[in-house]
Amino acid sequence: MRTITVFKGDGIGPEIVDAVVKILEAAKAPLAYEFFEVGEAEYERNGKLIPDAAFASFEKNRILLKAPITTPIGKGFRSLNVTLRNKYDLYANIRPAKSNTAVKTPFDHVDIVTFRENTEDLYVGVEEQVDADTVHATKIITRKASTRIIRDAFAYARANGRKKVTCVHKANILKLSDGMFLSIFQEIAKEFPDIEADDKIVDNVCMQLVMRPETFDVMVMPNLYGDIVSDLTSGLIGGLGLLPSCNLGTEYAMFEAVHGSAPDIAGKGIANPIATILSAAMMLRYTFDLDKEADAIEAAVKQVLKDGYRTIDIMPQEDAKKAYVTQVGTSQMGDLICERI
């Protein structure tokens, strides 16, 4: 029995966590849980965004399942996601986007894994107000951080039978920072002659993804591009409600959905828990080697979608009138997945 730390998050976070834990228990995952309230509401109650006990739990258990946490836009406290990634050196953000034939999109054969460097670039949050009309933001790219994320992307490709790794950059303009990232990619690619290596400018990647996504396999890129491009890949498969992710370091790991806390629908029971459910399956597979339990959860998710059940975010208007499609809420979706495990 392994104990993991669970942050229940803000907004839709608590209701999603309830569904996810129910599914982990249905899959008979040998886990115990330490739950913590974190985020804006916790700050209002107790004056801390993340309680000391929550940090201590993560440092003891080293595995965190995290629900969405609210990040203020343009003001207020710094993103807690960024804080956790930097504090625990969770340098690799891995986001797999794979088509599900039950969810209709313009593309049927998307199978892309994005490796996003997770600790530097513009996300270091160094900004300077030069004068009333000018702000400078610092972009940091280092050889250490670039090397480890690029090497991880190639190692993943080799270990999982992938054929190609694409470096995404803007080295035509940012010749020193992105130029160094690209040159490191080219150096490391020589160590993996069995894996095809190519590179593309980030704006071209965005165009190609919405025209020929099947030509992409594994992608690796600096932090900012990874944030944007991986969200784009979620749109190819039906939306953020279907995109899982993990944040890995050498000592700690954090698993979370890519989407936000959606405070506008909090408490309404309509949020899609699937992205967090699939993130939990990633946790079982890649951290605990519980392939059987992870397979069971992933298969149950596929079956529920095949059976025509949808939360509102993945239910296009044209499907709403069809008899074989049924709209369900957060808890119902969790129950339906449990029944198929």
Q: Please, what is the end-to-end C-alpha distance for the chain in angstroms?
A: 20
| 324 belongs to the catalytic site | no
Catalytic residue among 111, 217, 231, 335: 231
Residue 326 burial (CB count, 10 A): 14
Placement of tokens 């992105």 in the chain: 178
CA atoms of 298 and 242, how far apart (whole Å) = 11
Q: 3-state DSSP call for residue 190?
A: coil
| 291 belongs to the catalytic site | no
Catalytic residue among 203, 291, 292, 306: 203
| 123 belongs to the catalytic site | yes
CA dihedral 203, 90, 79, 114 (to 10 degrees): 30
| 231 belongs to the catalytic site | yes
Catalytic residue among 170, 178, 200, 225: 170
CA atoms of 335 and 333, how far apart (whole Å) = 5
Specify the pairing of strand 244-248 against strand 92-98. antiparallel
Catalytic residue among 43, 88, 91, 123: 123
CA atoms of 298 and 295, how far apart (whole Å) = 5
- Structure tokens that stand for 218 in this block: 């594994």
Catalytic residue among 121, 178, 199, 227: 227
CA dihedral 277, 279, 282, 284 (to 10 degrees): -60
Q: 3-state DSSP call for residue 333?
A: helix
DSSP 26-84: HTT--EEEEEE--SHHHHHHHS-SS-HHHHHHHHHH-EEEE------SSSSSPPHHHHH
Beta bridge partners of 134: 131
Beta bridge partners of 316: none
| 178 belongs to the catalytic site | no
Which residues are known to be catalytic? 123, 170, 203, 227, 231
